[in-house]
Structure 1
Amino acid sequence: MTTATAGRDRVLWPLAAWFWALQFAVLNPILAVLLVTLYGASDAQTGLALAAYNLGGFLASLVIPAAADRRGDYLRPLLLCGASGVALIGALAVVPALPFAVVALVLLGGPPGVGSTLLFAQLRHSGASPERVVRTRAIVSFAWVVGPVLATAVTSAFSPAAALVLLAATAAVNLATALLLLRSRRRAGLERPAATGASPLAALARLRTGRPLLVVGAFTVLQATNVATVTIAGLYVARSLQAPIVWAGVALGAAALLEIPALLLVGRLVGRRSARALVVAGCVAGTLYYALVAVAPNPVVFVALQPLNAVFFAVVAGVGLTVFQDVFHAPGIASGLFTNTRRIGAVLASGLIAAAAVAPDTYRAVYASGAAATLAVLVGVLVLRLRRPARS
């Protein structure tokens, strides 16, 4: 690889990571608004449409990376995902009614959501260090800080239709970065990486064995605690702390901003410390955070505890991805499975919140349950020695 090519890649990879994450950081917060305002969807129709969209995304996140693994090529599928993203926004702009919009979301909405997964798979398959993978994950986190604010600002200042223009521009950049990455590989004279031969069935078969199943279970539980506590943060502030709900926004915003330097710190440590040690540290931070929030007396303490939350989630998001890529040796399947721990964790989070409703203070009970679940994972890590295997 020439110096010029390497220099372009140093700019191109962060740019691609940023815009692929930004596309969905903008779309997800306003998708329900688009369905209601552009197509007149009722609350029930909106729920069903989002469920269908998420199901399509779940299937795409397994099938597309698995196909990429079999071919040993992640950039051509990334190009197809970019084209699908452009087609999705075009379809949403022109379809006349809700049923057509739902069909577009199911058929065209899943592949673009796999873009970040393919980027991380390509990084790992091309020999990138765990530190570089985690640094790239920090860029994704920053996009998720900016995206929802940008989406709501554009929608409020202009209209939901203006948000479609923003999404179209982002999708076009994603298609362009996919083309540039593919062109860069060709210019560097690199051969297509060797196929791994992995398949979704092979990955699922591995889940019947001890360590892979424990890894998936542990990170799904950790994701569930985060989803549950973020979901009820506003109600916790308003009802448990008897404070203005704006404090929830302050706390979650602080956690999101602190997550970026925390991820960068994790990226520096991941090559110097074992994954087991980092997961232990993250679980300690998470257990302390949830337990202390469960007894916090006021919103100032809630905000002050957010550094613990940022460290916890930085470990889950950063170290978790590298652990999956080590345990499931097919990079695409590994990244797709890790992405889906968040989706499955969201389902578990709903059950956790429902179970906490029997407590005198539901929202403090959710945080207490999060502390107990994270402590259980911590004990499991210590007892079962969850760690990255040595590299050959």
Structure 2
Amino acid sequence: MIASLFRPIALGIYLLFFIVGVVGALVLPTLSVFLAKEIGVRPLLVGIPFAGIALTSIIYNQWIGHWSDSLADRRPLVAGFCFVGTLSCVIFAFSRNYWLVAATAIFLFSLSMVSFSQMLAYSLDYADRHISPERIPLFNAIVRAQIAFAWVAGPPAGFIMASYLGFSTTYGVAAGLFAMVGVISIKLLPRLNRVEESNIEGHLAKASSAMATLSPDTKRSLIFCLVAFSLMWGANNAYLISLPLHLKDNLNIDTEWSGWIMGTTAFLEVPFMLMAGHLAARISLIAMIRLAGVAALLLYGGIVLADSLWQLFVLQLFNAIFIGVLAGLGVSVIQELLPGRSGSASALYTNTTHMGNLLSSLMVGLVADYFGYQSVFVANLVVVALAILAFGLVKPARAYSST
């Protein structure tokens, strides 16, 4: 029944995802400006914390994600990592020592981001136990929409606070929100009954068997998919890091406008995400992902040529298509290649975002340091073009079933 989507537990899950989304929207878009303008470091040093966050996130997610499956209750993990996030944001608020801030971002803030993964795991556990199978995709879509809604208001609020109240206030608010999520996760969410050990072992055995039976063509397509998704997410993250500094350095536009630009994208991407899901039954997923790549080319090419604020807002239509389709259908592409292995498909897809973040951090640090932040968008054109070519080497999964 659709009422199961709006039980108190489900509403609590939606609320927590929204708040965590707001925290990310306050911290991540403003961090590059904080490093470059508030602390005053060169572009290469701006890229180091982002690269470190990406690398340690992969390590943390792999190790903690595997270990957490053996625990009877995920809520203490969510709360613990949120309090780590509180500590990291307090350090951001009061320290202006680059190496302390960088170390905090790499080792503590990235650890706090595991709270999102554990919340996602909790939501999947809840869906498996309390929501009918035909309603689970809608539940997951609602959960994903909370992040998009958070990014509608989060980046504008973050840049406004940073511009008028200072970074100490911005990160102080983020610290308070992290603490709120930690407390609410324990007080509001109930403990879920643990899945039987035999069931877990059965799923792992099935997953291992599925991987062993993959054909060489499927393995090749999977590799090209993972590379292409990493490139696309790398371009997107390079855009998020570079846009505020591009506005300030090259267009003489206040950095707070980048928050409104990102919020506009988040608002527009939701309908494209839903539309992509509706069309996926009739159009090849790979074809739609390639279309998203074309939208990205138009976006980054337009930013290179744009010289006024209104043009950047118009270009967000292409950004919404790019991110809406990529976020809405990306994991489904990998799931088609790995039937019966939804957990492994989700993990692989999540790691492409971390690999993309690592790539983007290195790219921004090197390209911007030598050629300026506008050149990052030129590099993005090359990266997205390579991703489209890689997707061109992917044989759609539906073709395997017909041969």
- TM-score normalized by the length of structure 1: 0.71
Q: Contact conserved, 1:117 with 1:335, CA < 8 A, in 2?
A: no
328, 331, 341: which one aligns with 2:352: 341
297, 301, 305: which one aligns with 1:291: 301
CA distance 1:29–1:80, shift in 2 (3 Å): farther
CA distance 1:103–1:350, shift in 2 (3 Å): closer
CA distance 1:112–1:314, shift in 2 (3 Å): same
Percent identical: 23
Note the alpha carbon deviations across 1:121-154, whole angstroms, 9 max, x for none: 5488674555553443222222234345556778
Where in structure 2 are the equivalents of 1:188-337 lying within 5 Å?
194-195=199-200, 196-197=203-204, 209-241=219-251, 243-328=253-338, 329-337=340-348
Unaligned runs of 5+ in 1: 36-40
The CA distance in 2 between the partners of 1:316 and 1:338, in whole Å, is 11
The CA distance in 1 between the partners of 2:270 and 2:136, in whole Å, is 19
Find the counterpart in structure 1 of residue 58 from structure 2: 58
Where in structure 2 are the equivalents of 1:357-376 lying within 5 Å?
362-376=372-386
Find the counterpart in structure 1 of residue 180 from structure 2: 169
Q: Contact conserved, 1:26 with 1:147, CA < 8 A, in 2?
A: yes
The CA distance in 1 between the partners of 2:297 and 2:104, in whole Å, is 42
- Higher deviation after alignment, 275-284 or 374-383: 374-383
Find the counterpart in structure 2 of residue 144 from structure 1: 151
The CA distance in 2 between the partners of 1:327 and 1:230, in whole Å, is 30
Where in structure 2 are the equivalents of 1:149-164 lying within 5 Å?
156=165, 159=169, 163-164=174-175
Note the alpha carbon deviations across 1:147-194, whole angstroms, 9 max, x for none: 4555677884995656533321122223345x33x45x79xxx97893
Q: Contact conserved, 1:65 with 1:336, CA < 8 A, in 2?
A: no
Find the counterpart in structure 2 of residue 105 from structure 1: 108
Find the counterpart in structure 2 of residue 38 from structure 1: none
The CA distance in 1 between the partners of 2:31 and 2:177, in whole Å, is 13
- Aligned pair 1:79/2:75, yes or no? yes
The residue identity in structure 2 corresponding to 1:15 is L
Note the alpha carbon deviations across 1:193-230, whole angstroms, 9 max, x for none: 93221799999999993122212111100011111122
Q: Contact conserved, 1:82 with 1:115, CA < 8 A, in 2?
A: yes
CA distance 1:304–1:83, shift in 2 (3 Å): closer
Q: Contact conserved, 2:221 with 2:395, CA < 8 A, in 1?
A: no
Q: Contact conserved, 2:53 with 2:109, CA < 8 A, in 1?
A: yes
CA distance 1:216–1:236, shift in 2 (3 Å): same
The CA distance in 2 between the partners of 1:77 and 1:326, in whole Å, is 31
Find the counterpart in structure 2 of residue 114 from structure 1: 117
Aligned length: 374
The residue identity in structure 1 corresponding to 2:74 is L
CA distance 1:77–1:19, shift in 2 (3 Å): farther
- Aligned pair 1:88/2:95, yes or no? no
Unaligned runs of 5+ in 2: none
Q: Contact conserved, 1:291 with 1:368, CA < 8 A, in 2?
A: yes
